[in-house]
């Protein structure tokens, strides 16, 4: 869908007219990310992160394809081939650091994008499908990142793979056979490494496909905005190009400065030193920790320390997956008709508690599995589940929201005479 | 309906977590927080300043050559350096002939595919440092990546090399079972405090430095070999710093221009 006032694509050059008749790809782009797509005029910088996430995916695919030209997925030589890339391949160190830090950057951007969605309730009608596809992308990203981290075949690669695939062993009855089938053996080895490489190469393109669906679904209702008030008239919108291409260009610049500073000056700051030790199945590291972007969920996994009907391990696995799956139900759990957290005083307080709660969980997930971190993560995990499953449904039915602006234009300019007369 | 179900699910998870918390809290109240000999006596590496530090850091070739001398004179009796090729040593300032001469000092494995014979032959510049056969206690790690594979990096190596000492009396009083076992050595910078490696740097002048270098004190040798091992772990470090500046400065300029363009485009909409 688009709005009736959207600019129409009118190619002036004969070649573009010819092209428009045969394959209207330029028209498609014009209507998707060009001057033919009207967007709310009041989007703040939190709305830059969707484009940034797309850019991160491109960085990962480009650097990843180049790395795959030099990498060897074989347990005997994987670690050596990674060092070969770092030392002997021209610009190999840049490709590998760009890829490893690109994964971190991707998660920073996507977590910001997701929390933007929480605050502004981007999941609410009519954008439920955009949200569902987004959660699916996040799950695919987690799978891709996990398998990518196994490929250098360092100590954390190996033991991380062992711990995470070991989770399947907690499933009753079919757990162990399933785990062995997934790994192609009793423990991560050549078979697992090879299939992880294959899937790590495949999944980004699956992500790309779902990203296209995500954007398609977004273009049907159009972007939401910081007031959460839907578009009423033309004065509420600006064409995507040049307004948001310019704004995204600036956002991209800021992102690239920070990202390149990490790549060139602190490339190992977010990595674990143990992964520069070749995988050794006979030697367990003192503390097995995943990459930082999994820490909140890892903390939830480890927070269950007591058997209750089910084993503690199975509770942990169920809770860890539920922690993300619960996002799928958000459109139906939060029934408040008001979208933006800006006009929801009670919801807003709980949102900030959630933000701090997830940071606490992240800290505990990176810390050793001992006290006091376990007790802290237990409290934080309780809040996490209560927030989504209990607090949100209740808050949305008891809260009295603040008055909303009449329109986006009024929110920006202080008055919206044209629309008021029409109304 | 879905909300009733969700509230029940939320309460179920919370209940099991609360149960876990109560058990953990009772256990902790009884046993206290973990109090191990490591958590009491493990020390973080002291500060070490190297030419390769910082955003402009590059290698001090003279120091790398001294560090290589320490590696050759001390470390390589037990530790290999398998990711480094002799040709890489040109980055330390050696010329082709010197590299050839260094390579020749080593016997590298040579496999004859026609006969299946495994022999050794003198190294060529294209060869890597050969494996080191070690028969003693412990498993000396390969040193190529050591400064990247330990928390603290070069500072850790430096502190560890100089950190050998007698076990503090206080430690034995608090943890009588934690006496350093026979054949191991107490070193508070090592993760579990007891390391199998005997003190490698035993006396000033243990390694002979070429004329024109500072005297080979223990401190100097520890610094030099740490600097050398930063290079072996990441030979491209200096190039990375050097290439990073134009990239970041270009991006900063582009970002300023993008900001001005954005202001310009939005001028009529605020």
Which pLDDT score is estimated for B38? 87
Contact A249, B222 (CB under 8 A): no
Same structural domain, B152 and B215:
yes
Ramachandran sector of residue A354 (left: φ over 0; alpha: ψ -120 to 50; beta: rest): alpha
Query: Across the interface, do B150 and A273 touch by the CB < 8 Å criterion?
Result: yes
Same structural domain, B166 and B249:
no
Residues in chain A: 423
Q: Using a CB-CB distance cutoff of 8 angstroms, which residues of chain A are in contact with residue B20?
A: 303-306, 312, 378
Give A384→chain B minimum CA distance, Å.
Answer: 9
CA-based nearest residue to A222, from A362, A144, A126, A120: A126
Same structural domain, B167 and B41:
yes
Q: Using a CB-CB distance cutoff of 8 angstroms, which residues of chain B are in contact with residue A389?
A: 6-7, 9-11, 13
Same structural domain, B151 and B231:
yes
Residue of B nearest to A83 (CA): B83
Separation CA A218–CA A216 (nearest Å):
5
B23-68 pLDDT, tens per residue? 999 998 888 887 888 888 999 999 999 999 999 999 999 999 999 9
Does the pLDDT at position A416 exceed 80?
no
Q: Using a CB-CB distance cutoff of 8 angstroms, which residues of chain A are in contact with residue B19?
A: 306, 308
**Is B103 contained in some domain?**
no
Q: In this complex, which of B14, B233, B255 lies closest to A250 when CB atoms are compared?
A: B255
Residue A369's pLDDT band, with cuts at 50, 70 and 90, is: confident
Give B1→chain A minimum CA distance, Å.
Answer: 10
Query: Across the interface, do B24 and A370 touch by the CB < 8 Å criterion?
Result: no
Q: What is the DSSP letter of B124?
A: -
Query: Across the interface, do A86 and B25 touch by the CB < 8 Å criterion?
Result: no
Mean pLDDT value of segment B202-208: 93
Q: In this complex, which of B141, B149, B247 lies closest to A264 when CB atoms are compared?
A: B247
Contact B115, B168 (CB under 8 A): no
Assigned token pair, A191? 């078979």
A83-113 pLDDT, tens per residue? 999 999 999 999 999 999 999 999 999 999 9
A274-301 pLDDT, tens per residue? 999 999 999 999 899 999 999 999 999 9
Residue of A nearest to B145 (CA): A276
Same structural domain, B201 and B165:
yes
Round the CA-based radius of gyration of chain B to a whole number and report it: 27
Coil/strand/helix, residue A39: strand
What are the Cα distances from residue B251, in Å, to A260, A268, B244, B248? 9, 22, 11, 5
What are the Cα distances from residue B2, in Å, to A320, A335, A389, B13? 20, 11, 10, 17
H or E segment and range at residue A237: strand A237-239
Which residue, among A235, A311, A315, A378, would best test binding to B if mutated, counting the most B CBs under 10 Å from its CB? A378
A312-368 pLDDT, tens per residue? 999 999 999 999 999 999 999 999 999 999 999 999 999 999 999 999 999 999 998
Which pLDDT score is estimated for B47? 93
CA atoms within 13 A on the CB side of A302: 29
Same structural domain, B149 and B69:
yes
**Which structural domain range is residue B173 located in?**
37-84+140-235
End-to-end CA distance of chain B: 45
Mind listing the domains of chain A with CATH numbers?
A: 31-422 (1.20.810.10)
**Is B9 contained in some domain?**
no
CA atoms within 13 A on the CB side of A116: 21
Residue A134's pLDDT band, with cuts at 50, 70 and 90, is: very high
Same structural domain, B250 and B194:
no
With 0-12 / 13-18 / 19 or more C-beta atoms within 10 angstroms meaning exposed / middle / buried, residue A421 is exposed
A–B interface: beta-carbon pairs under 8 A: 168
Residue of B nearest to A376 (CA): B21
**Is B147 contained in some domain?**
yes
**Is B119 contained in some domain?**
no
Per annotation, catalytic residue among A122, A157, A223, A235: A223
Same structural domain, B267 and B213:
no
**Is B17 contained in some domain?**
no
Contact B65, B173 (CB under 8 A): no
Same structural domain, B144 and B269:
no
> What are the two backbone dihedrals, phi and then psi, of residue A351, each rounded to the nearest 5 degrees?
-60, -45
Residues 6+ apart with CB under 8 A from A342: A226, A227, A228, A348, A402
Assigned token pair, B251? 């991006």
**Is B153 contained in some domain?**
yes
Coil/strand/helix, residue B186: strand
Give B20→chain A minimum CA distance, Å.
Answer: 5
Q: What is the DSSP letter of A40?
A: E
Does the pLDDT at position B131 exceed 80?
yes
Looking at the DSSP bridge assignments, the partners of residue B108 are: B121
Residue B177's pLDDT band, with cuts at 50, 70 and 90, is: confident
**Is B77 contained in some domain?**
yes
Q: Is A124 a catalytic residue?
A: no
Per annotation, catalytic residue among A219, A287, A311, A322: A219
Coil/strand/helix, residue A265: helix
**Is B12 contained in some domain?**
no
Give B5→chain A minimum CA distance, Å.
Answer: 9
Q: In this complex, which of B148, B262, B269 lies closest to A249 when CB atoms are compared?
A: B262
Per annotation, catalytic residue among A236, A248, A274, A410: A248
CA atoms within 13 A on the CB side of A257: 14
Same structural domain, B210 and B269:
no
Which pLDDT score is estimated for A423? 54
Q: How many domains does one find in chain B? A: 2
The domain spanning residue B187 has which CATH number? 1.10.760.10
When the pLDDT of each residue in chain B is averaged and rounded to a whole number, the result is 93
Long-range contacts of B99-106 (CB under 8 A, 24+ apart): B99/B125, B100/B124, B100/B125, B103/B127, B106/B130
Same structural domain, B214 and B251:
no
Q: In this complex, which of B10, B15, B264 lies closest to A389 when CB atoms are compared?
A: B10
Q: Using a CB-CB distance cutoff of 8 angstroms, which residues of chain A are in contact with residue B145?
A: 83, 276-277
Same structural domain, B168 and B269:
no
Separation CA B100–CA B114 (nearest Å):
27
Q: In this complex, which of B16, B55, B153 lies closest to A315 when CB atoms are compared?
A: B16
Assigned token pair, B185? 């050595």
A171-213 pLDDT, tens per residue? 888 999 999 999 999 999 999 999 999 999 999 999 999 999 9
Measured CA angle at A297 (ends A295, A300), to 5 deg = 110
């Amino acid at each position: 869908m688009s709005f009736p006032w959207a600019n129409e694509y009118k190619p002036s050059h004969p070649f573009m007219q010819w092209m428009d008749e045969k394959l209207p790809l330029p028209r498609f782009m014009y209507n998707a990310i060009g001057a033919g797509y009207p967007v709310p005029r009041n989007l703040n910088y939190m709305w830059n992160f969707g484009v940034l996430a797309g850019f991160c995916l491109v960085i990962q695919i480009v650097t990843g394809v180049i790395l795959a030209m030099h990498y060897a997925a074989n347990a005997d030589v994987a670690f050596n081939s990674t060092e070969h890339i770092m030392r002997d391949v021209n610009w190999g160190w840049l490709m590998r650091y760009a890829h490893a830090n690109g994964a971190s950057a991707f998660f920073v951007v996507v977590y910001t994008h997701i929390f933007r969605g929480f605050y502004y309730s981007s999941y609410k009608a009519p954008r439920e499908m955009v949200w569902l596809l987004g959660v699916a992308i996040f799950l695919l990203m987690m799978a891709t990142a996990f398998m990518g981290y196994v490929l250098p075949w360092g100590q954390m690669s190996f033991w991380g793979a062992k711990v995470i695939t070991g989770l399947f062993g907690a499933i009753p009855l079919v757990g162990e056979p399933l785990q062995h089938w997934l790994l192609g053996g009793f423990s991560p080895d050549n078979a697992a490494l090879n299939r992880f490489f294959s899937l790590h190469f495949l999944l980004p393109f699956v992500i790309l496909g779902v990203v296209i669906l995500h954007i398609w679904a977004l273009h049907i209702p159009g972007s939401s905005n910081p007031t959460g008030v839907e578009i009423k008239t033309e004065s509420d919108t600006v064409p995507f190009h040049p307004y948001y291409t310019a704004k995204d260009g600036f956002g991209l610049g800021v992102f690239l400065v920070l990202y390149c500073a990490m790549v060139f000056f602190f490339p190992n700051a977010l990595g674990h030193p143990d992964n520069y030790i070749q995988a050794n199945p006979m030697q367990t590291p003192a503390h097995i920790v995943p990459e930082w972007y999994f820490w909140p969920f890892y903390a939830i996994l480890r927070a269950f320390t007591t058997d209750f009907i089910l084993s503690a391990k199975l509770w942990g696995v169920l809770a860890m997956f539920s922690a993300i799956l619960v996002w799928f139900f958000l459109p139906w759990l939060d029934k408040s008709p008001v979208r933006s957290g800006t006009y929801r005083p009670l919801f807003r307080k709980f949102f900030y508690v959630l933000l701090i709660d997830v940071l606490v969980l992240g800290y505990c997930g990176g810390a050793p599995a001992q006290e006091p971190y376990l007790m802290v993560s237990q409290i934080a995990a309780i809040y996490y589940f209560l927030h989504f499953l209990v607090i949100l449904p209740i808050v949305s039915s008891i809260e009295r929201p603040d008055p909303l602006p009449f329109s986006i234009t009024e929110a920006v300019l202080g008055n919206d005479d044209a629309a008021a007369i029409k109304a | 309906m879905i909300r009733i179900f969700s509230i029940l699910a939320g309460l179920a998870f919370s209940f099991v977590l609360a149960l876990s918390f109560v058990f953990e809290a009772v256990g902790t109240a009884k046993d206290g927080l973990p109090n191990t000999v490591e958590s009491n006596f493990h020390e973080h590496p002291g500060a070490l300043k190297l030419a390769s530090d910082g955003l402009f850091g590059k290698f001090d070739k003279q120091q790398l050559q001294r560090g290589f001398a320490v590696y050759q004179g001390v470390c390589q009796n037990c530790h290999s350096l398998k990711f480094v090729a002799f040709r890489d040593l040109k980055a330390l300032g050696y010329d082709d002939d010197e590299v050839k001469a260094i390579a020749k000092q080593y016997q590298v494995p040579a496999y004859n595919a026609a006969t299946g014979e495994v022999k050794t032959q003198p190294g060529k510049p294209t060869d890597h440092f050969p494996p080191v056969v070690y028969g003693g206690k412990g498993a000396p790690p390969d040193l190529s990546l050591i400064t990247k594979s330990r928390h603290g990096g070069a500072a850790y190596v430096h502190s560890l090399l100089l950190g050998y000492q007698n076990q503090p009396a206080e430690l034995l009083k608090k943890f009588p079972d934690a006496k350093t076992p026979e054949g191991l050595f107490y070193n508070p910078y090592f993760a579990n405090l007891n390391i199998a490696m005997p003190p490698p740097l035993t006396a000033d002048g243990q390694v002979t430095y070429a004329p024109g270098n500072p005297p080979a004190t223990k401190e100097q040798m520890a610094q030099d070999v740490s600097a050398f091992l930063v290079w072996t772990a990441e030979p491209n470090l200096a190039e990375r710093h050097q290439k990073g500046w134009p990239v970041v400065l270009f991006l900063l300029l582009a970002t300023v221009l993008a900001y001005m363009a954005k202001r310009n485009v939005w001028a009529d909409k605020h």
